[in-house]
């Protein structure tokens, strides 16, 4: 019964309406509910597009769920329900507030908009990516004992599913789409908590040039962070995105690779290059190597003519506390770079795969 505490917004228009009615009927069955919890069962919630009909390729749709704020849930895995013929990518955003209270809206960077729907960001407040799928990627099972804490007293009160439709060939003749993710979750508190740190830059890439977009942040919280997956994100100009742990030993920086990827490959979470820990006083650093053959300046922004430079670190911590810090952003070029920020001994292979 726990599954039914995840509630679709806009219930009357949703196929989950009937689930909700079922929940209302069985809500008094407390004994059965408690029993399921004791068994530590992993339950599944279908977070799928509500049979939408995207009309054009490159459409981005978002659909949200609200999570019961009286119950703590722990997501321990994500099982995709999509094919690369239809979906270019899917992202799950944890939100404090969803971008819209519509059932479906236009969302995301570079979006082709469906004029019959509103446009909004995936989240209005407290946005964090908790899962990314692309290119027929397999399921993501978090490491044993690790869960994303959602609902209850957590900062994630909503989850928004975003699907970027690559092709709409399948939908001619009125076939509808239910791409999405099956969330694997439990109400049993997990001993380790999953979190995501998003690194990125502002700035610009000059015409016909190679530019490094860099960021770095010192960890100021008294927590030990175990990165286990990373994701890179740029638009067309990104060639290599790399992320590092940097520790200072006798004024000399030691760099250890967390992950490095060609952002033109499927932008999903990949396992880290090294199992390392980050703790107070360590620095995390990321670089996007951008190559522009354009005759104009490219700026950071949301359209396909703009760029983005992002490196995501998915990590776990012991106990219930993830980092309060969710972002590490710099102004990017020409204002910010690593060496101006007094990082030294920069790895020579930070821009090569």
Q: Which of 100, 154, 179, 201 binds ligand NAG (CB under 6 A)?
A: 179
Q: According to the binding rule CB under 6 A, does residue 83 interact with ligand NAG?
A: yes
HSE-CB at 148 with a 13 A cutoff on CA atoms is 30
**117 and 105 Cβ atoms separated by less than 8 Å:** yes
**301 and 258 Cβ atoms separated by less than 8 Å:** no
The nearer residue to ligand NAG, 85 or 254, going by C-beta atoms, is 85
- Chain mean position to CA 297: 28
Measured distance CA(288)–CA(332) in Å, rounded: 10
Q: Which of 268, 290, 308, 314 is catalytic?
A: 308
Window of 79-87, 188-196, 260-268, 277-285 that interacts with ligand NAG by CB under 6 A: 79-87
CB of 300 to ligand NAG, least distance (A): 17
- 88 counts as catalytic: yes
Q: Which of 44, 139, 279, 339 binds ligand NAG (CB under 6 A)?
A: 339
Q: According to the binding rule CB under 6 A, does residue 201 interact with ligand NAG?
A: no
- 308 counts as catalytic: yes
Q: According to the binding rule CB under 6 A, does residue 352 interact with ligand NAG?
A: no
Measured distance CA(245)–CA(253) in Å, rounded: 10
Place of tokens 């040039």: 209
Window of 25-33, 101-109, 317-325, 333-341 that interacts with ligand NAG by CB under 6 A: 333-341
CA distances from 69 to 7, 21, 96, 128, 158 (A): 11, 19, 11, 18, 10
Q: According to the binding rule CB under 6 A, does residue 81 interact with ligand NAG?
A: yes
Both tokens of 321, joined, read 């506390």
Give residues in contact with ligand NAG (CB under 6 A): 81-83, 178-179, 212, 274-275, 337, 339-340
Q: Which residue numbers are catalytic?
A: 88-89, 162, 164, 233, 235, 308
């Amino acid at each position: 019964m726990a599954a039914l505490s995840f509630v679709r917004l806009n219930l009357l228009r949703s196929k989950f309406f009937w689930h909700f009615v079922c929940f209302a009927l069985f809500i008094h069955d407390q004994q059965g509910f408690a029993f399921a919890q004791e068994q530590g069962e992993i339950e599944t919630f279908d977070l799928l597009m509500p049979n939408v009909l995207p009309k054009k390729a490159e459409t981005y749709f978002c659909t949200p769920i609200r999570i019961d704020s009286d119950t703590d849930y722990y997501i321990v895995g994500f099982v995709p329900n999509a094919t690369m013929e239809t979906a270019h990518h899917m992202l799950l955003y944890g939100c404090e507030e969803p971008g819209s209270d519509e059932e479906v809206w236009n969302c995301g960077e570079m979006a082709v908009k469906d004029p019959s729907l509103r446009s909004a960001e995936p989240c209005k407040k407290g946005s964090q990516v908790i899962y990314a799928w692309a290119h027929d990627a397999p399921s993501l099972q978090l490491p044993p004992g690790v869960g994303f804490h959602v609902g209850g007293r957590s900062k994630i009160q909503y989850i928004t599913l975003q699907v970027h439709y690559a092709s709409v060939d399948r939908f001619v003749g009125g076939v509808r789409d239910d791409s999405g993710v099956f969330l694997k979750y439990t109400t049993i508190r997990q001993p380790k908590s999953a979190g995501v740190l998003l690194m990125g830059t502002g700035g610009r890439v000059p015409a016909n040039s190679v530019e490094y977009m860099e960021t770095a942040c010192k960890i100021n919280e008294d927590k030990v962070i175990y990165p286990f997956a990373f994701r890179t994100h740029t638009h067309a100009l990104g060639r290599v995105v790399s992320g590092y742990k940097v520790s200072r030993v006798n004024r000399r920086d030691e760099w250890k690779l967390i992950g490095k990827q060609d952002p033109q490959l499927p932008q999903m979470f990949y396992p880290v290059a090294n199992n390392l820990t980050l703790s107070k006083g360590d620095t995390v650093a990321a670089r996007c190597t951008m190559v522009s053959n354009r005759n104009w300046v490219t700026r950071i922004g949301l359209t396909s003519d703009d760029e983005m430079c992002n490196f995501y670190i998915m990590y776990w911590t012991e106990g219930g506390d993830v980092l309060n810090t969710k972002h590490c952003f710099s102004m990017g070029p020409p204002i910010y770079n690593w060496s101006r920020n007094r990082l030294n001994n920069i790895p020579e292979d930070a821009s090569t795969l």
